[in-house]
Amino acid sequence: MAALDLFGRRWNLRIVWELQHGPVGFRALQQRCDNMSSSVLRQRLTELLDAHLVTQQPDTAYTLTDLGHGVYQALRPLARWSDAWASALGEDGEH
Amino acid sequence: MAALDLFGRRWNLRIVWELQHGPVGFRALQQRCDNMSSSVLRQRLTELLDAHLVTQQPDTAYTLTDLGHGVYQALRPLARWSDAWASALGEDGEH
DNA sequence: GTGAGTTGATTCGATTTCCGAAGCGGCAGG
DNA sequence: CCTGCCGCTTCGGAAATCGAATCAACTCAC
């Protein structure tokens, strides 16, 4: 239930999603997230750091922990579903 | 990506989660969601209705569509992960 | 049929969150 | 030095969220 609360906050899902490919720096991460506000990004990152989903490397780059990588795995069915969702909505509006 | 936006809104994940057991009325649904604000609940419900994840029955009760049920299925890995997450955080703070 | 209780739904002012742009100090290279 | 990039902070305004009051419709008891 706490998970639904954490991920119910804007950008948290997206940030985990964008960190899947490996360590990313602060400003680069911001750009990947549609240039979201830097203030909110920092806020979200501390939340994810506290939740032990994200770690900060010696070179200050951010990356997923093992736990965080588990989230990404758990998120993949949702990504697969979103494809079905998109096509279902697409058939709606056409013709 | 639109899915991350929709579910990045507060309560949307929770509402889908709470509708898993079948049709629920407006006020009952509100109570299940920690007595969330009724104004926001209505707003979220119209969003979910527009997204075809939720339908309103003749007796005005809300229930998941087939599409909405797919979301719930896609959410179950996340629920399973949250258990591992909870125990990992639990070991942290103890002793 | 009238009065009390419940339900889905709306309104509105207050609070919280989010945004975005500017700016900070630190650290490169030229 | 100066310029440019970096992680990060500050702050004022905009937007989302809240909470409580309220409405019309419906039920049920009496």
Task: Give the pLDDT confidence of A35-57 residue by residue, as tens digits.
Answer: 999 999 999 999 999 999 999 99
Across the interface, which of A52, A78, A85 has its CB nearest the CB of B88?
A: A52
In this structure, is the CB of residue A42 within 7 Å of any atom belonging to strand D? yes
Q: C1' nearest to CA of B37: which nucleotide?
A: D18
Query: What DSSP state is assigned to residue B35?
Result: T
Picking from A12, A73, A78, the nearest residue to B74 by CB comes out as A78
Residue B93 has a pLDDT of: 67
Between CA A23 and CA A83 the distance in angstroms is 27
pLDDT tier at B94 (50, 70, 90 boundaries)?
confident
Task: Give dist(CA A10, CA B37) in Å, integer.
Answer: 18
Which pLDDT score, from 0 to 100, does residue B91 have?
Answer: 82
Q: For position A1, what pLDDT does the model report?
A: 82
Q: How far apart are CA A24 and CA A27, in angstroms?
A: 8
The contacts of residue A77 (CB under 8 Å, 6+ apart) are B73, B74, B75, B76, B77
Closest Cα in chain A to B85: A67
Instruction: Report how far residue B65's alpha carbon sits from residue B49's, in angstroms, rounded to the nearest whole number.
Output: 9
- The pLDDT tens digits for B33-73 are 999 999 999 999 999 999 999 999 999 999 999 999 999 99
pLDDT class of A60 with cuts at 50, 70, 90: very high
pLDDT digit string (tens) for A11-38?
999 999 999 999 999 999 999 999 999 9
Structure tokens at B18: 């709470």
What gap in Å lies between CA A14 and CA B5, rounded to an integer?
8
